Structure 1
Amino acid sequence: METKSLIVDIAIKLFQQKGYNGVGLNEILQSGKITKGALYHHFPGGKEELLIACIETTNAMICEDIGSIFAAFPTTQAAAIALLDKLIVLYETEGTIAFYTIGSVVSGMDSLHDPVRKACSRLYADMQEIYSNKLMADGYSRDAASSTALMMTASIEGGIMLCLTNRSADPLRVIKRGVSNLLKEF
């Protein structure tokens, strides 16, 4: 594995476990047996630049997965249920779904700088675009699709965090019923 990718992979795992503020660069270096010079060669801006790379990598992985699920189902309702079922199964079999959210990574968001905030915003915007496009294909107006996509993003992201803190997949089950009912009504 390329050194830069190794650094990002290690940092993602540590940031997901402990949050951005809970992880020091030395811990990342020790976990991967990486030199400080190698880290700063790839991330001259230090920890914050590394965080942005982690968010962008997470964004690509999450959106690729969501996109493939939403492309495989004929309606937003069916796709959303499939996505939530997948998250529930992942939680129940692996005991975590932290890799499917950036919420745990960016705890303490208020102290992060604008480039990090923008990287997080792009992830949520990309997710919402997938949902919104599918909703418009189902016949929703652009405004209705946009607001519903925002609600779906917030609900799923919040549900993941509740699963992690409550150590139960029940929050996602509740959200699955709510999203299913909401999308049925249209």
Structure 2
Amino acid sequence: MAKRGETRERLLKTAATLFQSQGYHATGLNQVVAEGRAPKGSLYFHFPGGKEQLAAESLVLSANDVRRRLSGARDLDAALEVFATRLVASGFRDGCPIATVALDAAGDSEPIRVACADAYGSWRDVVVDFLLRQGVSTERAPGLATTVLAAVEGALLLAKTQRDVAPLRQVAADLRVLIEGAK
């Protein structure tokens, strides 16, 4: 029998994967339970707030994973490669682990909106730190970090729909020029 924490963690990871590829509304709790190999009653035991709580917590899990990977990237190309690798490995199904849910449910759910905003905020902080290390001023870095995130999100969407990582490569090249000019 699985330990209580193991079942909870498995449900969170399963939900994160499903929400990323299918969105919030297309992902059913029965599917999460079945694919997470968990007893039916365990979902509400671990997540008494239901699907909304499960989604918000799975977004935190996904955001932390991406933040960790971005923090470990040595440069802009390596950071974008984090997204490109995941996109290709999924057959172009999985773009940003936050965007699909943000577009699908953040307008209807305050906990989900907050989880999405916190995720993007944490990634922005990583980009600000990177920009500061690159010599961008403390005044300029926060705004430029927002531009970087917006460009990467757009490139991910284009790459997903075109089934080609070329938009990510193009954005990386243009962002390098932009960052160099901001020093």
TM-score normalised by structure 1 residue count: 0.86
Greater shift after overlay, 55-64 or 96-105? Answer: 96-105
Unaligned runs of 5+ in 2: none
Q: Equivalents in 1 of 2:102, 2:29: separation in Å?
A: 16
User: What is residue 140 of structure 1 aligned with on the other side?
Assistant: 136
150, 153, 174: which one aligns with 1:154: 150
Verify: 1:81 aligned to 2:77, yes or no.
yes
1:178/1:110 CA distance change after superposition, 3 Å: same
Which segment is superposed worse, 134-143 or 147-156? Answer: 134-143
Match of 2:28 in 1: 24
Give the Cα–Cα distance (whole angstroms) in 1 for the partners of residues 69 and 170 of structure 2.
Answer: 22
Deviations 1:128-160 (A, max 9, x none): 111112212333222310011001111112211
Kept in 1: contact 2:11–2:32 (CA 8 A): yes
Q: Give the 3 Å change call, closer, same or farther, for CA 175–93 of structure 1 in structure 2.
A: same
Match of 2:163 in 1: 167
Tell me how far apart the structure 2 counterparts of residues 20 and 144 of structure 1 sit (CA, whole Å).
35
Return the match for 2:178 from 165, 182, 186: 182
Q: 2:44 aligns with which of 40, 45, 51?
A: 40
Contact 1:132 1:145 in 2 (8 A): yes
How big is the shift at 1:89?
4.3
What residue is the counterpart of 1:54 in the other structure?
58
Aligned length: 178
Q: Which amino acid aligns with 1:162?
A: L
Percent identity, aligned pairs only, is 28
